[in-house]
Amino acid sequence: MLSTTTRFGPDPPAAPQARDHQRTAPRAAAYTPLQRTLRARQPRLIVTPAILAVIIGIFGVMVAVSGRFAFPSPLLVRWGAQFGPAIADGEWWRLASAMWLHAHPLHLGLNALFLWRFGGYVERLLGPVVFLIVYVLAGIVASAVSLQFQANGLSVGASGALFGLVGVLLMVAMTSRGRGSLGEMLAELRPNLVSIVVTNLILGWLVPGVDNAAHIGGLAGGLVLGWFVGRHSLDATPPPRRTLIPIVLTAGIAAAAIAGAGWRQDITGEMARVGMQMDDAETAFETARADIEAGRRTPADVAAEAERTVLPFIHGAQVRADGLVRAATARASAAARDRDGHVENSRVPPALSAGLSQANRWVMCLAQYDYAWRVRVTGLRTGDAATLDDGDARAEAAIRSAVTMLTGS
């Protein structure tokens, strides 16, 4: 996310310290004529407040539907988060949808504040249509780069697109010197823009959970977009046709990212995908048990539903897990085979050995979860509370094992 502690806006600092006055005053004074010049080009902002309304509106709908203010990973995935396994399965649209989602109010608030304080500069420079295209393209590039660094991870937020806007303006500032009064004013922003980039990247490395790969990707995309579109904006608002080349380049980057995600899907991606299904199954089971207590459903009905839905999905996961074990075994055997065709376990590379071990552990985890649900079904049909509790304990242990395998903790 972008920090709002770095001041960049239409208003100069109210009372700079004495020792900083000589350095700060000229740069602060440049904001007023720059803002006035940009307002003369486009008096009203259209896209910036529209984007702000959309991201706040989506967050509000998610709160209303879920009853939560901080959203867990399964909910974010259902709403369109960037999630490597799902993208590899063909849900490429997640590269674009993730930029409209936020995980909690602070995440939303920081990005919304920065967009409101900063987006107007770029919109007035590029015009509303080109600004919207650039914003979306920068967000897609940010997601594509993030996907390469966390193929099985999850990411949401507008900060990648916002870094793209910084990149556009930075490119304009770097190429505007000597090109009229507007160019000179924009050139004066370079130190501020560099400070914003450096500060927020450092914060991204220091604060856990921040997707700095998306920030770097968005910034790089913004610099490229700024070269194709933004540097021509000093003379006049660029026409939408100038975005044709950036659109083609972004589509190529996105396609390469999706292909790369597909090539790298392994046991970890399968575990993440099945883990989401486990979470859904546990949530549905809690709701079903509440319905039983309220008299809205019978235990036999819930048991039958589990046999129709949960057990088949576990069986499918077990079949895929067996295939992963076979593939890992084949890779390990091929690597350990000597010139005479004999297999020596000592020759297996550590990475392949670890992959085979993880695949075997995943098979055992799924077997444990399958058995837990069969015990639950038996408890529901017999009305035996102790059996049902045993199934719950076994399911909890299986989920704990899966989480440990995914997180490495």
What are the b/e assignments for 251-280, b being 16+ CB within 10 Å?
eebbeebbebbbeebbbbbbbbbbbbbbbe
Measured CA to CA, the distance from residue 79 to residue 111 in angstroms comes to 19
159 is catalytic: yes
The answer to whether 58 touches 71, Cβ cutoff 8 Å, is no
User: 234: closest CA among 3, 41, 33, 16?
Assistant: 41
Contact yes or no for 42/123 (Cβ under 8 A): yes
Selecting among 146, 159, 176, 233, the annotated active-site residue is 159
**What DSSP string describes 166-230?**
HHHHHHHHHH-TTSHHHHHHHHTTHHHHHHHHHHHHHHHHHSTT--HHHHHHHHHHHHHHHHHTG
Measuring CA to CA, how many Å separate 376 from each of 381, 384, 396?
9, 10, 12
User: Of the listed 102, 143, 146, 215, which one is catalytic?
Assistant: 215
User: DSSP state, 46?
Assistant: -
Is 215 an annotated catalytic residue? yes
Q: Could you list the active site residues?
A: 159, 215
